[in-house]
């Protein structure tokens, strides 16, 4: 091989190296673009997941927690809904069983109390639902100590009934400021 052939061969190799460098730069540019698109998509997915999680929490609050809270506020004496809810949560879990809210022990087993069978009138073991009747059954079975003081006894309001009040807030009908007895002439 003479110098001209070598030089031609070197020029071909240089041209080939330059093509490879250009191709490498193109591939690196495409890779950077793909990584950027991937990162943008990842951010969109994370934002969508966060939005979904927030919507699920809001839906859970509206469909599950608000009705539970309303029930507790309905059956509890004024100011005792929070303590009653804490006591129930401390002892039991509220579980959705076939579309019905039921009370379960912390180990997962259903809470069972003696209840009257409407057909036969006999006492039979029954699972406890998370409703006003179920909470009444919990109270009657004495499964939560001190629960009776947190529950409203009756909402009756006629014929001298105490109504929703606990009967402990009796106000004196006499004037709290007693005037001294006046001695002497006026």
Tokens 């998370």, residue located: 130
Number of helical H runs and strand E runs in the chain: 4, 4
Spatial CA neighbour of 152 closest among 172, 168, 128: 168
Domain that holds residue 57: 1-75
**Based on the domain organization, do 58 and 117 belong to the same domain?**
no
CA angle 106-109-112, nearest 5°? Answer: 110
pLDDT band at 145 (very low <50, low <70, confident <90, very high): confident
pLDDT computed for residue 120 by the predictor: 87
Structure tokens at 15: 């041209």
- Using left for φ > 0, alpha for ψ between -120 and 50, and beta otherwise, residue 39 falls in alpha
Is residue 166 over pLDDT 50?
Answer: no
Q: What is the mean pLDDT of the chain?
A: 85
Q: Count of domains in the chain? A: 2
**Based on the domain organization, do 81 and 68 belong to the same domain?**
no
The rounded radius of gyration (Å) of the Cα atoms in the chain is 39
Structure tokens at 136: 């009444």
Q: What percent of the chain has pLDDT over 90?
A: 63
Is residue 1 over pLDDT 50?
Answer: yes
pLDDT band at 161 (very low <50, low <70, confident <90, very high): low
pLDDT (tens digit per residue) in 37-66: 999 999 999 999 999 999 999 999 999 999
**Based on the domain organization, do 3 and 39 belong to the same domain?**
yes
The answer to whether residue 167 sits within a structural domain is no
For residues 141 and 114, the answer to whether their CB atoms sit within 8 Å is: yes
The answer to whether residue 88 sits within a structural domain is yes
pLDDT band at 153 (very low <50, low <70, confident <90, very high): confident
**Based on the domain organization, do 70 and 81 belong to the same domain?**
no
- Domain end residue (candidates: 75, 91, 124): 75
pLDDT computed for residue 119 by the predictor: 86
The model's pTM is 0.58
pLDDT (tens digit per residue) in 76-129: 999 999 999 999 999 999 999 998 999 999 999 999 998 888 888 888 899 999
Average pLDDT over residues 132-161: 80
**Based on the domain organization, do 55 and 103 belong to the same domain?**
no
**Based on the domain organization, do 87 and 44 belong to the same domain?**
no
Is residue 165 over pLDDT 60?
Answer: no
The answer to whether residue 137 sits within a structural domain is yes
């Amino acid at each position: 091989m003479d110098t001209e052939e070598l030089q031609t061969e070197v020029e071909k190799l240089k041209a080939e190296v330059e093509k490879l460098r250009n191709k490498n730069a193109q591939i690196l540019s495409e890779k950077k673009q793909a990584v950027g698109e991937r990162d943008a998509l990842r951010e969109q997915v994370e934002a969508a997941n966060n939005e979904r999680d927030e919507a699920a929490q809001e839906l859970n609050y509206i469909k599950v927690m608000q009705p539970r809270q309303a029930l507790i506020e309905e059956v509890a004496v004024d100011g005792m809904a929070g303590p009653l809810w804490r006591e129930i949560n401390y002892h039991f879990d509220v579980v959705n069983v076939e579309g019905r809210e039921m009370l379960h022990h912390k180990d997962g087993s259903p809470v069972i109390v003696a209840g009257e069978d409407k057909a036969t009138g006999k006492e039979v073991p029954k699972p406890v639902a998370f409703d006003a009747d179920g909470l009444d059954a919990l109270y009657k079975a004495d499964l939560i100590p001190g629960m009776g003081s947190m529950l409203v006894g009756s909402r009756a309001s006629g014929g001298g009934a105490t109504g929703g009040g606990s009967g402990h807030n009796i106000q004196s009908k006499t004037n709290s400021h007693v005037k001294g007895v006046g001695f002497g002439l006026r």
